[in-house]
Amino acid sequence: MADILIVSDRTDGVTSLAAGLEEGGHRVGLAGIGDPRGNGPEPDVLIVDAAKDLARGRDACRGARASSSNLRIIAILAPDTLDAIGPDWDADSFLVEGCSVPEALARIRLTIGSQVAESSSVIRVGDLVIDPETYQVRLRGRPLDLTYKEFQLLSYLAQRPGRVYSRSMLLQEVWGYDFFGGTRTVDVHVRRLRSKLGAEHEAMIATVRNVGYKMEGPPRSRG
């Protein structure tokens, strides 16, 4: 059983869905799309009705994600607007307007299950998700193509955001005692990582003058 909040500006359009989800064993609340979190505690799943207003729905999804990285978000889309959804929505899944209750229940189970199944070793720093078991890195849902050493360096920095590491320490911990290269190797890899993170998020890896580097949370996108 999950706590589900459905946000919509058209109550009549989601009433039957709410009733069906309650019959399926979930606790369901309703709120206006302008108040995506409602007045109660944070739900397990937020369902955002974007079928009639894509821009408003996307903003609601992104606003909810900005306030919680653990919230599972599902967007409701009209059948002819499915191609509009993308990583910039910050949604975990979607439903097609008018779908059956069993389909909605299945999608919710999958969405919640993906959260439960996520390895406990996964590292999250803001919009950055690092999975050491699969060597996958995602930034706002977008996969990053990193070399093995880039992955190791990013993972090491992300394990303790805010902690400053000297170049020599990073060289020792990431490259190992047997590496005979200089500390400039660290600078080169940091530069490459920043390039792959992109202009909007490159500041995640901050330079601490005369010391080294530290990981900071990325800025949230606007608009």
Residue range 163-217, pLDDT digits in tens: 999 999 998 888 886 666 778 899 999 999 999 999 989 999 999 998 999 999 6
Contact between 92 and 74 (Cβ < 8 Å): yes
Q: Is the pLDDT assigned to residue 37 strictly greater than 60?
A: no
Please tell me the pTM assigned to this model.
0.53
Distance CA(83)–CA(144), nearest Å, equals 23
Average pLDDT over residues 11-24: 87
DSSP 8-state secondary structure symbol assigned to residue 174: I
Q: For 117-133, how does the pLDDT look when each residue is reduced to its tens digit (9 = 90+)? A: 455 578 888 888 888 87
**CATH number, domain 123-215, options 3.40.50.1820, 1.10.3720.10, 1.10.10.10, 1.20.1260.10:** 1.10.10.10
Distance CA(103)–CA(222), nearest Å, equals 33
pLDDT of residue 90: 86
Distance CA(87)–CA(36), nearest Å, equals 19
Distance CA(5)–CA(18), nearest Å, equals 9
Confidence at 155, pLDDT banded by 50, 70, 90: very high
Enumerate the domain spans of the chain. Answer: 3-117, 123-215
Assess whether the region 3-117 and the region 123-215 belong to the same CATH fold.
Answer: no
Distance CA(75)–CA(214), nearest Å, equals 35
Closest alpha carbon to 122 in 159, 88, 149, 86: 159
- Cα–Cα distances in Å, from 221 out to 62, 123, 140? 9, 20, 10
For the domain made up of 3-117, give the CATH fold.
Rossmann fold (3.40.50)
pLDDT of residue 6: 94
**If you count DSSP H runs as helices and E runs as strands, how many of each does the chain have, helices first?**
6, 12
Distance CA(207)–CA(130), nearest Å, equals 21
Closest alpha carbon to 103 in 111, 117, 28: 111
Which two three-digit tokens encode residue 199? 């202009």
Average pLDDT over residues 42-64: 91
Pairing of strands 72-77, 93-96: parallel
Place of tokens 């653990």: 70
